[in-house]
Chain A
Amino acid sequence: MPLTNSESGENHASASQHVEDPVFLNSLREAKIIISIWALAMVYTCTYCYLYGYESHPSDPAAVGPAVSSWVGPLESFDRDPTTLTTPFGLGIPDWVFYGVVAPWIACLLATFVFCLFVFKEDELGDDEELAPAASEGGSSDD
């Protein structure tokens, strides 16, 4: 897993006498948390919608992509047809979209706020030399 830095610290033994950059460490930690939330959202939404929102679950990979039915057995009992369509709370949104997309969307919105307010570290990002008045752009004539 390339995103960890534990073993690579030893590879650069002479560098380790310096303190590791806190922005790097905080960003890495935050990146891992975000990826986990995303992975969770993906597993839930894709599974739920595929199971409950599809009219057919064929086991032919050429037609449908990964042949899930061939690993977990036939999924025909999940096949939908128009007679089973419901629209929760009278919103006009098909049931599978409501529970498979709208609901997790709201959950992710909340998770984003929790992340920004309580997890995210407001690090100092450093100065920018180039944008200081003495620009290093090699400009001789300036109008």
Chain B
Amino acid sequence: MIETSPTTMVVFLLYILGVFVLAGLSHKLLSKKSFLSEYFLGSRGLGTWTLAFTFAATSASGGSFGGYPSLIYSHGWILALWIASYMMVPLCTMGIMGKRINQVARKSNAITIPDVLRDRFESPAIGIIASLTIVFFTVCFLVAQFKLGALIIEDTFNLTFSLAYEISLVIFAVVVVFYTSYGGFRAVVWTDVMQGIVMGIGVLVLIPIVMAKTGGLENATKTLAQRDPIAITNVPSPDGAKGTHNDLAFQATGEIHPAGVIYRRPEQPNAPLSIVWQADQPEDAYVEITMASDSTGDAISTGNDVKQAIEEHSELSSILDVILPYKNDKIEIVDGEKVSRGATGVIGFPGETTEYKYVMLYGHELVFGPGRNNTGKPFHTLGMVISFFVFWAITGMAQPSTMVRLIAFKDSKTLNRAIMTVTVYFGMIYLPIIAIIIAARTVLPVLAPEDSDRAIVLVATRLVADMGIWYQILGAIFIAAPFAAVMSTVDSMLLLISSCAVRDIYQRSIDPDVSQRRVKIISYSTTAIAGILITIAALKPPDFLQLLIVFGTGGLAASFLFPTLLGIFWKDMTRQGALAAMIGGFCTTTSLFAPTMFGGSRLDILGLHPNLWGLIVSMTLGVVVSKMTGPAPEHLVRRYFYK
């Protein structure tokens, strides 16, 4: 395996240093201006480039550089349809509400989104509920982002010792929490601009290199469509942890393809490992592997045992290749030499689990829809196609971290130019990333699901490591790109949490006469405390990054879209209507997601995503309750809808 070069590490460190410098500069400005509106809003002075890049970098989140490439790696071209709504994201998310919400915020002197809602409806309850909702969902979102940030550090510096992830996580947390809490909104925005440019350049430069090193996209797509089927396992160890040297990839190489692989818990003590396969009905015959057990009946077989058993099997040995996925080969240092130990982890069956089933995925399933995941469920069904088209463009509009940027820009002209800039920028990033990952699949190692988050980082680090010094500097930029994406999302989210706590909960609800000095102390410390709590949660992060992000993004937007949208465009919206819309959206989305917390799957009624139902319920409640409780107070209508 090629390792990251020292040049890359140096450039990476310089980049982090640059972020600190920006935080220092913006901290200086803080002492000159009104603290709260500067700390949380940059004194409403965003210009075209700052608005465009802070907007793009925030919404292009770690999702695009972690979860998104990971999904492309697992499901292929269908991700073009999954992300297609981004063709309209800049125009929808900035154009629909931008001008109007900025104006309403000015009318009410609001500096946060809960502020806007509280003043528009003259309701402290709405302000507080909005703040709490933001804090809840943002924390979910941030845990995933912290995990990704730590993985990038771990990968960049080739950390392979036992606590590598934990230490990387702490480093990441310290960097981000420090510059965010020290520099405030303006530091976040400036680093966003720097990071946005880094991300854009990263992708643009990566394209020709990947194409040259992999034989091009045309070749990659055609090869992929014809690829032999592969089943990639993703089993936990006895304590439930995943990714601990027990995953294997089974590639079918013969004329006959098994349907997949099933691991079974041993049924009695002291049983040997056994393999059953009905070769006469290959279409639906799974390779059934029952683990060996010890004297207490617990499974004791490791990945290596399974690999060996398949290789010694009379029929399967000729039609199945067993491959160790990336990072699943345990390397030990013996007498200064690296020795490969293979998949040494025990395949465990924690809790009530009695079997794991993994299907063979054919290459053509990565070229056409709907694709499948490794347990065999279809990936992007028609219901999801519709849901995601609504999700990115419409739901995305109501992300609080997006909306806060819309109340921070300087004037209409700024907004107009920024929409065009972001449109071009997204076009340059999202589709090319698909091309990069698809082409790079041909040279990347097989990635187990928990490692597929690393796909883009691996492309960036491995492909350029053996090229000249200039390429290595460019390589470092690619590594900074995903890192930049994560940081720019994390910093604005952290600030969002502390702005809710300080402005909406403390200053406006507990102590309106709080002094500037005290506000400062509280602001710095909430940002820092939030960072610490999230770090602790990210120590044992949940399985799949993107699910969490979708959960967080959808939940927030389902709570805020209609209260805000109807609030600024519909005179008859009442405070009760807004409250009903907010609570209804939140409850619908979370309750449809709730089964996932207990090991089930989320409820997609009629095949549509919970977020879509959240929006539908939220809108209906908003309209119906407003009609029932109207008319809206006249002074509010006059204030916000008339000159």
Q: How far is the CB of A55 from chain B (nearest CB, A)?
A: 5
The number of chain B residues touching the other chain, given as a range, is: 35 or more
- Determine if B34 and A131 form an interchain contact, defined as CB atoms under 8 angstroms apart: yes
Q: Are A20 and B34 in contact (CB under 8 A)?
A: no
Contact A18 B642, beta carbon cutoff 8 Å: yes
- Once the chains bind, are A55 and B517 in contact (CB under 8 Å)? no
Q: How far is the CB of A130 from chain B (nearest CB, A)?
A: 4
The A-B contact count (CB < 8 A) is 292
List CB contacts (< 8 Å) of A1-44 with chain B. 2-3, 5, 8-9, 11-12, 14-15, 18-24, 26-28, 30-31, 34-35, 37-38, 41-42
The listed residue (A27, A46, A105, A143) touching B385 by CB distance below 8 A is A46
- List of A residues within 8 angstroms of B591 by Cβ: none
Bound CA–CA A2/B378 (angstroms): 37
A65, B218: Cβ atoms under 8 Å? no
- CB pair A19 B642 closer than 8 Å: yes
Interface residues on A, range: 35 or more
CB of A30 within 8 A of CB of B367, answer: no
**Residue pair B606, A109 in contact (C-beta under 8 Å):** no
Q: Are A87 and B221 touching (Cβ within 8 A)? A: yes
> Which residue of the partner chain, among A2, A90, A104, contacts B87 with CB atoms under 8 Å?
A104
Judge whether B569 and A91 touch: CB under 8 Å. Answer: no
Do A130 and B111 form a contact, CB below 8 Å, given A55-B368, A93-B221, A125-B411?
yes
Against A, the Cβ 8 Å flags (1 = close, 0 = not) of B312-323 are 000000000000
CB distance from B37 to the nearest CB of A (A): 6
Q: CA of A18 to CA of B634 in the docked complex: distance in angstroms?
A: 12
Q: In the complex where A35-B96, A65-B384, A97-B81 touch, is A12 in contact with B221 (Cβ < 8 A)? A: no
Determine the chain A residues whose CB is within 8 A of the CB of B87 once the complex forms.
41, 45, 101, 104-105, 108-109
- B566 and A2 within 8 A (CB): yes
Please name all residues of chain B whose beta carbon is closer than 8 Å to the beta carbon of A85 when the two chains form the complex: 221-222, 225, 364, 367-368
CB within 8 Å of B: which A57-86 residues? 61-66, 68, 80-82, 85
B398 sits at the interface (CB 8 A): no
Residues of A within 8 A of B219 (CB): 92
Within 8 A of A (CB), among B87-123: 87-88, 90-92, 95-97, 99-100, 102-103, 106-107, 109, 111
B570-A55 in contact (CB<8A): no
**A82 CA to B76 CA in the complex, in Å?**
14
| Structural contact, A19 and B643, CB atoms closer than 8 A | yes
Q: Is the CB of A53 within 8 A of B638?
A: no
Please determine whether A53 and B642 come into contact, CB atoms closer than 8 angstroms. Answer: no
In the complex, chain A residues whose CB is within 8 Å of the CB of B51? none
Interface residues of B in 548-575 (CB under 8 A from A): 566, 568-573
Which residues of chain A come closer than 8 Å to B623, judged between CB atoms? Answer: 2
Complex CA–CA separation, A116 to B420 (angstroms): 7
Task: Please state if A80 and B416 are interface contacts (CB–CB under 8 Å).
Answer: no
A30 to B569, CA, bound (A): 12
Is B31 close to A, CB under 8 A? yes
Q: Indicate if the CB atoms of A109 and B427 lie closer than 8 Å.
A: yes
Chain A residue nearest in CB terms to B390: A42
CB–CB B385/A23 < 8 A: no
Task: Tell me which residues from 394 to 426 in chain B have a Cβ below 8 Å from any Cβ of chain A.
Answer: 394, 411-413, 416-417, 419-420, 423-424
Given A68-B382, A96-B368, A143-B517: A122 touches B416 (CB 8 Å cut-off): yes
Query: Across the interface, do B420 and A113 meet the contact criterion of CB distance under 8 Å?
Result: yes
B109 contacts A34, C-beta separation under 8 Å? no
- The answer to whether the Cβ of B20 comes within 8 Å of any Cβ in the partner chain is no
Contact yes or no, A53 B369, CB < 8 A: yes
Q: Is the CB of B604 within 8 A of A116?
A: no
The smallest beta-carbon distance between A129 and chain B, in angstroms, is: 6
With A15-B638, A128-B106 as known contacts, state yes or no: A112 contacts B90, CB within 8 Å: yes
Report whether A125 and B102 are in contact in the complex, using a CB–CB cutoff of 8 Å: yes
Q: Tell which of B225, B515, B572, B637 touches A15, judged by Cβ atoms closer than 8 Å.
A: B637
| Complex Cα spacing A3 to B631, Å | 16
Interface CB pairs A-B, < 8 A, 18? A9-B571, A20-B643, A23-B99, A24-B568, A31-B100, A35-B96, A38-B394, A42-B386, A53-B78, A53-B369, A61-B606, A116-B417, A116-B419, A125-B99, A129-B109, A130-B111, A131-B43, A137-B36
Known: A87-B221, A131-B43; 15 extra A-B contacts, CB below 8 A, are A2-B573, A2-B619, A2-B622, A3-B570, A5-B571, A31-B96, A34-B91, A37-B91, A45-B389, A46-B382, A91-B217, A96-B368, A128-B44, A140-B515, A143-B517
9 closest pairs, A vs B, by CB? Answer: A65-B383, A65-B607, A92-B217, A139-B516, A92-B218, A27-B100, A130-B109, A18-B642, A135-B34
